[in-house]
Structure 1
Amino acid sequence: MTSSISIAVIGTFDTKLQEYLYLRSQILYHDPSVNVVLIDAGRTATEHEAITIKQADVLKASGYEGDDDRLKSLPRAGVVKVMISGAVSVVRQLLDRGGFDAIIGLGGSSGTTIASAVMRQLPLTFPKLIVSTVASGDTKFYVAETDITMMYSVVDIAGLNGVLRAVVDNAAAAIVGMAKAYASRIRRDPTGDEKKVVGITMFGVTTPGADAARNWLERSGFEVCVFHATGAGGRAMERLVREGKLCGVLDLTTTELADELAGGIFSAGGDRLTAAAGAGVPQIVSVGALDMVNFGAMDTVPAEFRERKLSEHNPSVTLMRTSCGECEEIGSRIAKRLRENCTEPRLTEVWLPLRGISAVAVEGQVFHDEAADAALFTAIKKELRGTEIKVVEVDSHINDASWAESLARRLAELIAQKSK
């Protein structure tokens, strides 16, 4: 029985053809029936019978109007941008035709930049793997909010040797297995699980509340995806909403907006809080962990914040209490993003826990600050006054189980309202 799977292999064949041909041979070694689609995104056209989609095809798909000689004259960054554009277009066309079941690349910094840019455009849970010389460092630029798997090459991808052969062999075996698993999953359930899926945002200091809401939703028949609100987590949830994977959002923990404002390490960027609003997906938004900005170890806190109220969460994370002025601005941003993006405002509600917005912001804890919380709440209510977005104030704290279950119950009601 044949596997009936295809694997796309994307790379710069003008500099790494030998290594890519070895990768292809190892994929076929693990399963000779695999259709290997080689996509050339190199600076210079390379000819080989194994190449499926030539560099000229990628260049044409980019819309670049210059010839190959003109492309060669561009600086490296310019070439990379052109090839990313063309490769994204080519791979999207392949995917739309159901043309492959996984994608893999090899590369240094430029090759990884091209491959990862293409992979970030593919749906979450679609198999993606890059063997890279930069995989042992900070990979957030390449991975972002996606599920790209990165494997460190150990040695440079510059000629075959025993170490690189072993690494590439492992990668080939991995991508064949991932492709087969994906194809099998799609055949079993081509339209996706029919169970309604809800997203919840959580932080360490909002975990009890998030867990209580999750448990209620699961008992009520929902599948729940919990997102750690560390920047990538918030972006991942927004992305799943845009991909149509979530029927509702309980945005309990919006702490990423505090980091966005003050330059913390867990910002999710300016698009945070826009996806569900724009898609008309039912959502309840709260203010979990907006009492804090996250920095790295204590000695990494910017000098201008050294005299602020700081708390060492762990050796790697230092928390800074948000001020009244910062809370006012954060509240205003939350409300403005919801107001300006909501296509169905009656399906969005903002719930405010008046007795504490995190485990360390309740009375008696280090970040308890009634004035700052009041500034946050007042700004939200002021900006949403006169809109159809409902604001609900509850005499509770963010981690109270009854409060959390009330949010979950109300979200279920909004989802049912949307279904009707």
Structure 2
Amino acid sequence: MKGKRIAIIGTYDTKALEMRYVAERIASYGHEGILIDAGPLTGPGTPVHYPNHEVARKAGWELERLVKEGNRETIMAAMAEGVGAILLELFAGGSLEGTIGMGGNQGSAIAATAMRKLPIGFPKVLVSTVASGNIRPYVGETDLMVMFSVSDLVGGPNPVSRSILGNAVAAIVGMVEKGEPIRITERSRTVALTALGNTEAAASRISALLKEKGYEVITFHASGAGGTAMEDLIEQGVFGGVIDLTTHELVEEVVGAGAYVPVKPGRLTGAPAKGVPLVVSLGGLEYLCFGPRETIPRRLRKRKIYMHNPLNANVKASEAEMKKAAYELAKRLNRGRGPIEVLIPLRGWSVYGAPGGPLYEPEGNEALLRTLKKKLKPSIPIRELDCHINDQAFASACVDALLRMMEKQA
């Protein structure tokens, strides 16, 4: 087997021994580690493939000027941009099969930001001293694998860090040797779908109906990262159609609160901009998600609350918030360049929001619908169905609408 090239990202001034240990472990599997120094303070003559001054130049800076004139934020952003540019150049040239980064707060941020530039499906691993906290800023909407280093990465490998780093190397080697790249065989027959636990029954039914008709279905969990990942893949031209069943993330985006705020703003913008046939519904738009009960902001604690599980609280959105979501939904759909239909199940948009459910408040739903009908341009049809979002009839209606638009566009 021909050896693979795996980039090793770290701040060489503080992580030299760890980076060289990782390179040795990669070499023991018959592969080559490509050392990239992301540390702005390493001196000249560093024995790496890409020294820090070259990294800085890739971001448009001379290293000496960057360190002299830049603040910490500017320096970190520049080094991350430079590392990312190197990774993309190697990837585009076919001379990179995987990447592994390591660091504390600063090094993790630089490495993660750079690795997120690589496409979904490309092997990427981060070993971080801060991985047991909130890692969303590091992972974003990508498939970056993150491992907690347990011990600090200072002073060279120790019995604990040797094990952790060795396991991380084994993971990245396994990915580059046996990993599975994303293969989209026929874009025109690949459909994106959004879901949450509250709309899972509908998503399962829609997926089954589409698969029966020979379509490939990729479902995204509408948890902030999932919806953003879908939008990115829509921009890349992966899908021939989209059923955005669960638009929950939009209400958190416009409110600016909740555990499922999109990683990047812009839900429900990709398909309209690309002209991809789009079916939209209102799954989960009537509530906000938070973590355990104590994470709910005090100003919201008098609202209806239902604990989806001990770590996930569903909080009823206010009428004003739902109207704001409807306004933004209409605004984004009105920019559409392709066929769009909005399907509304009148008997509930989620398990908990159905009549008799713990989050049912018809006044908010009605306010959202009034706003949507008023603001949505007449060329985008709104169809109201006398069923619940998880009913078979609604799944069939979504599939029929999408396939009709896709066939007409073909």
The TM-score normalised by the length of structure 1 is 0.91
Are positions 1:392 and 2:383 aligned together? yes
In the other structure, the counterpart of 1:9 is 8
- CA contact 1:216–1:408 (8 Å) conserved in 2: yes
Match of 1:176 in 2: 173
**Quick check: 1:108 aligned with 2:100?**
no
Name which of 213, 225, 237 aligns with 1:220.
213
| Secondary structure, counterpart of 1:52 in structure 2 | coil
Secondary structure at the aligned position of 2:285 is classed as: coil
Partner of 1:235: 228
Q: Is the 8 A contact 1:308 1:320 kept in 2?
A: yes
Counterpart Cα distance in 1 of 2:185 and 2:386: 38
Q: Write the distance in 2 (CA, Å) between the matches of 1:49 and 1:43.
A: 12
Provide Cα deviations, 1:338-359, integer angstroms capped at 9, x if missing partner: 113x222xx2211111121111
**1:84 and 2:75 are equivalent in the alignment:** no
Aligned pairs for 1:37-48 (under 5 A) are 37-46=34-43
Alignment of 1:199-210 (within 5 A): 199-210=192-203
Match of 2:244 in 1: 251
Distance between the aligned counterparts of 1:401 and 1:22, measured in 2? 56
What is the root-mean-square deviation of aligned Cα atoms in Å?
A: 2.0
In the TM superposition, 1:200-349 aligns within 5 A as 200-262=193-255, 263-268=257-262, 269-340=264-335, 342-344=336-338, 347-349=339-341
Contact 1:327/1:373 (8 A) holds in 2? yes
Q: Which residue of 2 aligns with 1:119?
A: 115
Tell me whether 1:381 sits opposite 2:373 in the alignment. yes
CA distance in 2, matches of 1:289, 1:82: 39
Cα deviation, 1:252-271, whole Å, max 9, x if unaligned, reads 01111222233122111531
Q: How does 1:43-62 map to 2 (within 5 A)?
A: 43-46=40-43, 51-62=48-59
Shift of 1:248: 1.7
- The 3 A distance-change label for structure 1 pair 24 and 47 is farther
Code of the residue aligned with 1:375 in structure 2: it is A
Deviation track 1:313-366 (CA, whole Å, cap 9, x = no partner) reads 2222222222322222111111101113x222xx22111111211112222222
1:101-156 deviation per Cα after TM superposition (whole angstroms, max 9, x unaligned): 11111111111101100111111111100111111221111001111001111111
State the SS of the aligned residue for 1:365.
coil
For the Cα contact (< 8 Å) 1:228–1:234, is it kept in 2? yes
Q: CA deviation at 1:181?
A: 2.5
Distance in 2 separating the partners of 1:62 and 1:69? 12
Whole-angstrom CA distance in 1 between matches of 2:286 and 2:317: 5
1:408 counterpart letter in structure 2: V
Q: What amino acid maps onto 1:43 in structure 2? A: P
Identity of aligned residues (%): 36
Q: 1:315 to 1:49 in 2, by over 3 A?
A: closer
**Paired residue type of 1:148:** L
Question: Contact between 2:323 and 2:368, CA under 8 Å: does it hold in 1?
Answer: yes
TM-score normalised by length of structure 2? 0.93
Higher deviation after alignment, 294-303 or 8-17 = 294-303
* Structure 1 pair 208–261 and aligned structure 2 pair: CA distance change class (3 A): same
Superposed CA deviations along residues 222-253 of structure 1, whole A, max 9, x for unmatched, are 22122111111111111221222222211101
Per-residue deviation, residues 284-321 of structure 1 (Å, max 9, x unmatched):
11001112111222233222222222222222222222
The offset of 1:70, in angstroms, is 5.1
Uncovered stretches (5+) of structure 2, i.e. residues with no partner: none
Asked if the contact 2:40/2:63 (under 8 Å) is kept, the reply is no
Label 1:23 to 1:220 Cα distance change in 2 as closer, same or farther (>3 A).
same
2: CA distance, partners of 1:173 / 1:364: 52
- Once residues 303 and 14 of structure 1 are traced to their aligned partners in structure 2, the CA distance between those partners, rounded to angstroms, is 45
Shift of 1:60: 1.0
Does the CA-based 8 Å contact 1:44-1:72 persist in structure 2? no
Amino acid at match of 2:162: R
Q: Which residue of 1 aligns with 2:25?
A: 26
Query: Residues 139-154 of structure 1: matches in 2 within 5 Å?
Result: 139-154=135-150
In the superposition, relative to structure 1, how do residues 46 and 246 fare at CA in structure 2: closer, same or farther (>3 Å)?
Answer: farther
Q: Which sits farther off after the overlay, 284-293 or 42-51?
A: 42-51
- The more displaced of 197-206 and 238-247 is 238-247
Structure 1 contact 40–55 (Cα < 8 Å) conserved: yes
Shift of 1:48: 6.0
Q: State the AA in 2 paired with 1:303.
A: R
List gaps (5 residues or longer) in structure 1: none
Change (3 A) 1:229 1:101: same
Shift of 1:67: 4.6
